[in-house]
Amino acid sequence: MNRNLLCLPLLLALIASCTSPEAPSTESGGSAPEGAIVHLFEWRWDDVARECEDFLAPHGYAAVQVSPPAENHIIVGRPWFERYQPVSYQLQTRSGDRAAFANMVARCDAVGVDIVVDVIVNHMADADLRHDGDLVFTAKGTAGTEFGPLEYPGLYTREDFHQCALTENNDIWDWNDVDQLRTCELVDLSDLATESEHVRQTVGAYLADLASLGVKGFRVDAAKHVLPEDITAMLSYVPEEVWVVQEVATGGQYVDWMKEYEAVGDLTEFSYTEAMGDMLRNRTWSDFAPEGWFWTSREYIPSDRAMVFVDNHDRQRGHGGEAAINYKDGALYELAQVATLAWPYGAKRVMSSFSFGTDSQGPPMDADEAIKPVHSPDGLNCGQGEWVCEHRWPVIAGAVAFHQQVRGVQEVSNWWTDGENVIAFGRQDQGFVLINGAEAALDGTWQTSLAPGAYCNRLAGAACEVVRVDGEGKITTQLPAISALAIDTGWLQE
C-alpha cells in the first residue's frame, strides 16, 4: 500500500488550512439517487464492491450508504460507534484502506450503483479519553495516529474546538436549547468550531477528496449540531455535484430552525421511523390511510426533502429517540419495508445490519479484530447469526424493485382498508399493493387501476407467482397472515 496515498487527505487538509480559495458555490446541487439506497452498515469495501456487482445492481438498488471511511479511534472491544469518532481524514479503517475504498467506488459506479458516504463534520473523537464504564479509550487511530484530548497532530488543536461553558461538563444537557445543540459536546465528543475558516476548509478538503474518488453523496452525521451555513461553507469546497442528506431528528415537530437545513440539502425523516414503530406496536394498519393518524400525529419534512427509513443503525438499538422495529421483528419488519417502499413519500433507504445482542456490539470480527467478510471463501455469510443482510430478503428486495418501477407516479389510488390490519392501495395504473397485517389468512377481491393481465408478485421471490387482474381491473387472491403482495407493470407473466 502506498503511504503517500494514505496521507493525501491529510495533505489536502493542511493545504486548505493555509489557503483561502474562493468558494465555488453555496449549494451542493446534487439530487437524490434514482431509486432505493441500502445502508451496508460496517461492511468491508471489497464486500460492498462485490455486492454492487452480484446483487444490488441486478435487483434495482440505486445507491449504497457506507460507514465512515476516515481514520477512527480504536476503542477496546471495538464497539460500532468507534467509527463515529474520527481521528484524521486518512481513508484507513477496518473496512479497508484508500486503495480498497477507491476500488469499491469505481466498481459500484461501473454497474450503476452510487456510493453515499457517512461523513462526520460536527466532532472528532472523545474529548477526555477517560474510562467510561467498560469502555477503554486507547488514544490511537486505525491508521496509527496517536492523539490527545482536543489535540489531533497536524490537523486540529484546542483552539479549533468549542468550549461551550453552558453546562457543567460541556456536554449537551437540554436538547431543546439550540445553543447547546450547536456548541456543546455530543456525548462527550470533541465539538469542532465549525464557524472557524480553518475547520471549514479542513473538512471541506476531506469532502472534496471523497468526491474526487467518485463519491456521489454525503450523509452528514449529527447535522443539527452544526449551523446550516457552516455545512454550506464546508460543501463549497467540493467542485463536483453531490447529493447531501443531513441527519436531523425533529422529534415530531418540524420547527423553523430545522427548516433552515433545507437550503443545504435533504433531511433524514425520523418522524416517519417513529410513527411506523408506534403504529405497528400500538395501533392498526388502518392508521396508514391518507390523512390518517400516521400522517397527522407528527409534523413531517416535505416529501421532496425527506429520506425515509424503517430503522437505522441508531434507532434499531433504541438510541436517540423512540425505538424502531428492526430485523428481529421478522415478517412484521418486512411489511413495514413494503409499505415504506411502496408509498410515494421521500427518498428510500433500506437497512442492512449485522446481528447484535447488546447496543454497543460491533460488527462480526475474527480473533485479530478484523471485520469478517460477507463474501467469504465458504460462501455468502448472510443470515447465519452474523451478517443479517435484510436487503437480500426476497420480500424487501422485491419491494425495492416495485419502488423502482412505480416511483415516477406520486399519487395513491384505490385506497382500501378493513378498518383494522388489512390495507390496499395502488400507484395509479403502474402498481398495486395488498398488505395483510392480521393474524389470520385473507381471502377477497380488490379493485385496482391496472390493465387486465397476469402479473407476477414482486414479493414472492425469483419465480413468478401469478396474480391475475380481470377485465374490471380487480384481483381475487388469498394471503397468509402477516404477508403482502405487490404487482406492477414491470413484471408480467410471459
**Catalytic residues, which ones?**
221, 247
Strands, E assignment, 60-215: 63-66, 73-75, 114-120, 123-126, 137-141, 189-191
Nearest residue to 308 (alpha-carbon basis) of 328, 289, 324, 320: 324
Q: How many CB atoms lie within 10 A of CB 323?
A: 18
Q: What is the DSSP letter of 319?
A: -
- Alpha-carbon span 85 to 138, nearest angstrom: 12
Q: What are phi and psi of 265, to 5 degrees?
A: 175, -160
Q: What angle do CA 222, 223, 226 make, to 5 degrees?
A: 105
What is the dihedral sign for C-alpha 302, 304, 307, 310? positive
Report the C-alpha gap between 164 and 177 in whole angstroms: 12
Contact 322, 298 (CB under 8 A): no
Distances (CA, A) of 246 to 83, 125, 352, 373: 18, 20, 20, 29
User: Measuring CA to CA, which residue among 364, 488, 321, 277 is closest to residue 41?
Assistant: 364
Asked if residues 46 and 54 have their Cβ atoms less than 8 Å apart, the reply is no
| Residue closest to 401 by CA, chosen among 36, 52, 55, 29 | 36
Q: Give yes or no for a contact between 205 and 12, defined as CB atoms under 8 angstroms apart.
A: yes
- Unique residue bearing C-alpha cell 474520527: 86
- At residue 169, the 3 state secondary structure works out as coil
d(CA 393, CA 399): 10
- The string of DSSP codes covering 322-358 is SPPP-GGGTHHHHHHHHHHHHSSSSEEEEEE-B--SS
